[in-house]
Amino acid sequence: MTKRSPVWKYFEKKEDRTSTCTICFKNIKTSGNTINLNGHLNSMHRSIITPQKNNNSCQEINDPVEELTDVNTTAGLPTSNIFNTDTSIALPSPYNHFKRQKTIKQSFDPISSDAEGGIKASKITILIMYMIPKNSQLICIVEGKGFKLLIKTLAPLYNMPSRRSISRKIDIKYETLSGIFKETLATSTNFSLTSDIWTDIQTRSYLGITVHFANSTTFTLKSGILGIYDLSERHTSEYLAEKLKEACFEWRISIDLITAVIIDGASNITKSVELAFGKNYQIPCFAHKLI
Ligand SMILES: [Zn+2]
């Protein structure tokens, strides 16, 4: 087997002729080729790997959690998108139960699959990884007595991953998904940014930066949060300009391709946009202007 196939961007090779998907952490048997790996990407993560073409004027990027809702799942799982913050609950169709009669094995799967390596175990792990950032929880929640008891009650055979294991999985998944997003960004030649500074309850400041762009071929509009960057120094225009440029560099967005930056109109951020991108790139936020 060679690692040259593009499919290896999404898998970690293991020693026992299996590979682990870095999006959903399911173990896939390889049998010396990439057929099963391609099959897994196509059946479970097609909307993430392949840009969707539709008639919507504004397209969002699907969250891999959505991919968990396979044909045998009757309970809806939470969905959102990777880089935006909107969340909705995918309700099951009332007709899903009649789609296909389950085999005997499938009927017993829900009983045993919360054991290590089972389908349900994989889903629980992904949902814990989803819940931690979504609900602003600490990673150490997986070692908390109450949380462990809750999961033990719901899935008695589930083996709770350690804090280190969950942390590593989140890092691996971030690398994979951010790589996909960089490829999506590369489909466009014009970008605009939205930026704002906010302060948390512990008075630490952050610079949030969102990118907006259109696929040059399909002209579908997309948005994504580039990051919430910690501001450890005084909010001078020079410092903020560096932060804006660093974000562009991190996501491989050429400074020359930025066409506009929407800001709240504060003098330091206004000046920082001029320092980073040039004169007349600032567009004051309409909502801020109303206040
Ligand atoms: Zn997967």
Report, as an integer, the average pLDDT of 172-196.
92
Domains of the chain in sequence order:
188-289 (3.30.420.40)
Amino acid, res. 114? D
Cβ–Cβ < 8 Å for 229, 266: no
Distance from C-alpha of 15 to C-alpha of 29, rounded to nearest angstrom = 11
End-to-end CA distance of the chain, in Å? 61
In the reported structure, the alpha carbon of residue 100 is separated from the centroid of ligand 1 by a whole-number distance in angstroms of 23
Distance from C-alpha of 169 to C-alpha of 251, rounded to nearest angstrom = 21
Predicted confidence at residue 249, as pLDDT, reads: 96
In the reported structure, the alpha carbon of residue 286 is separated from the centroid of ligand 1 by a whole-number distance in angstroms of 41
Report, as an integer, the average pLDDT of 201-212.
94
Cα separations in angstroms, 139 against 48, 108, 155, 246: 25, 32, 20, 27
Residues 6+ apart with CB under 8 A from 290: none
Report, as an integer, the average pLDDT of 185-191.
92
Report, as an integer, the average pLDDT of 171-184.
92
In the reported structure, the alpha carbon of residue 41 is separated from the centroid of ligand 1 by a whole-number distance in angstroms of 6
In the reported structure, the alpha carbon of residue 27 is separated from the centroid of ligand 1 by a whole-number distance in angstroms of 8
Residues, the chain, total?
A: 291
In the reported structure, the alpha carbon of residue 274 is separated from the centroid of ligand 1 by a whole-number distance in angstroms of 43
In the structure, what pLDDT confidence band is assigned to residue 77 with cuts at 50, 70 and 90?
Answer: very low
Report, as an integer, the average pLDDT of 65-85.
38
Is 150 a residue whose pLDDT tops 90? yes
What tens digit of pLDDT does each residue of 212-243 get? 999 878 888 999 999 999 999 999 999 999 99
Token pair 């979504």 in the structure block, residue? 134
Mean pLDDT, the chain, integer: 80
> Which bin fits 106, alpha (ψ -120 to 50), beta or left (φ > 0)?
alpha
